Amino acid sequence: MRLSDRIRAFLLDMDGTFYLSDHLLPGATEFLDCAAAAGMPVLFLSNNSSKNRAAYVHKLAGLGVEVTPEQVFTSGDATVQYLQTQAAPGSPVAVFGTPDLEQVFREAGFVLTLDDPAWVVLGFDMTIDYAKLTRLCDLVRAGLPYIATHPDFNCPVAGGYIPDIGAIMAFVEASTGRRADVVIGKPNRAILDMAAARLNLPVEALCMVGDRLYTDIALGQAAPIHTVLVLSGETGPDDLAASPYRPDYVFDNLAGLAAALNDRSLT
């Protein structure tokens, strides 16, 4: 299967695509080597806002993969960039997320508070408890602008899945009757435009590689850009057959994409 000549760079999902929990998935480093040999940049693009770029750099280093913070872009980073275009500097924001996500907002100059915020941001919060859920619902019910970093329902881990932000969003909607006013991460166009700007390439030159149909592959239909589905994470063959989202290429894992990229380089 020959890859399109239009593809000049890759946006690479991490959870379920490049690694699963604490081990690399098949073909991970091989794909990076083939992309580098072809002169094609790779931007790690994750919807997972529970970790900041420094945490991802550290995690990848522990797996034997050396990258710089500039090679990682998360839905948390994109949410900060979006809010900087909407809110005044130093605006008070209620961030429901991990300490890593809170740090991203503090470094951008926002004031974090649950008492009298002007904005509500929900991330993938593995530290959430009932008191935080109650306060989140109170603020959403009060009508404050409500932003979600991404829509994923589950996060793949070794042995299965853990509930992601989509499950929390469903809880909030059931309690308040409100959905998020804005969802930033994949499959929404905003994060794609930001990623293209970081790579200094036109959107149509990018190819999204991931394991989720309703985020990674749906992103391709929003642009449109080329997409690659790997079956190493959330999506199985039966899910693909029933899905309205159709990838341009399907591989069992990144080893298949590496082979296709190598074949294109040889022709």
Residue 221 has, within 13 A of its CA and on its CB side, a CA count of 12
Superfamily of domain 9-47+186-266: HAD superfamily/HAD-like (3.40.50.1000)
CB 83 within 8 A of CB 128: no
- The pLDDT tens digits of the residues spanning 223-264 come to 889 999 999 988 888 888 899 999 999 999 999 999 999 887
Q: What is the pLDDT of residue 263?
A: 80
Per-residue pLDDT, 266: 56
Burial of 93 from C-beta contacts in 10 A (0-12 / 13-18 / 19+): buried
Q: What percent of the chain has pLDDT over 70?
A: 99
* Two tokens, residue 223: 């642009």
* pLDDT exceeds 80 at position 62: yes
pLDDT over 80 (residue 15):
yes
Neighbours of 96 (CB within 10 A): 25
pLDDT computed for residue 224 by the predictor = 86
CA geometry: angle at 82 spanning 207 and 187, to 5°? Answer: 35
- Alpha-helical (H) ranges within 70-217 are 75-86, 99-107, 130-141, 165-176, 189-199
Q: What are phi and psi of 171, to 5 degrees?
A: -60, -50
pLDDT recorded at residue 89: 87
Domain boundaries, the chain: 9-47+186-266, 87-183
- pLDDT (average), residues 43-67: 95
Asked if the domains at 9-47+186-266 and 87-183 fall in one CATH topology, the answer is yes
State pLDDT tens for residues 79-94.
999 999 999 989 999 9
Record the tokens describing residue 267, joined without a space: 């022709």
Per-residue pLDDT at 265: 63
List of residues 6+ apart from 220 with CB closer than 8 A: 208, 226, 227, 247, 248
Cβ neighbors of 37 (< 8 A, separation 6 or more) are 265
Residue whose tokens read 């940049």: 41
Whether residue 267 is predicted with pLDDT greater than 60 in this model: the reply is no
258 — phi, psi (to 5°)?
A: -60, -40
- Please determine, for residue 120, whether its predicted confidence score (pLDDT) is greater than 70: yes
DSSP 3-state of 15: strand
Per residue in 22-39, pLDDT tens? 899 999 999 999 999 999
Q: Is 206 left (phi over 0), alpha (psi -120 to 50) or beta?
A: beta
SS3 134: helix
Q: How far is 233 from 224, CA to CA, in rounded Å? A: 23
Question: How confident is the model over 200-229, as pLDDT tens digits?
Answer: 999 999 999 999 999 999 998 878 899 999
Sign of the Cα pseudo-torsion (67, 258, 208, 241, in order): negative
Which segments of 137-248 are extended strands (E)? 146-148, 154-157, 160-163, 182-183, 206-210, 226-230
- Over residues 134-179, the pLDDT tens digits come to 999 999 999 999 999 999 998 888 888 899 999 999 999 999 999 9
Q: What is the pLDDT of residue 236?
A: 87
Q: Does residue 59 carry a pLDDT above 90? A: yes
Domain 87-183 in CATH 3.40.50.1000: yes
* Torsion angle of the four alpha carbons 250, 38, 17, 222, in this order, in degrees rounded to the nearest 10: -60
Q: 75-86 and 189-199 are packed helices; what angle lies between their axes, rounded to 10 degrees?
A: 100
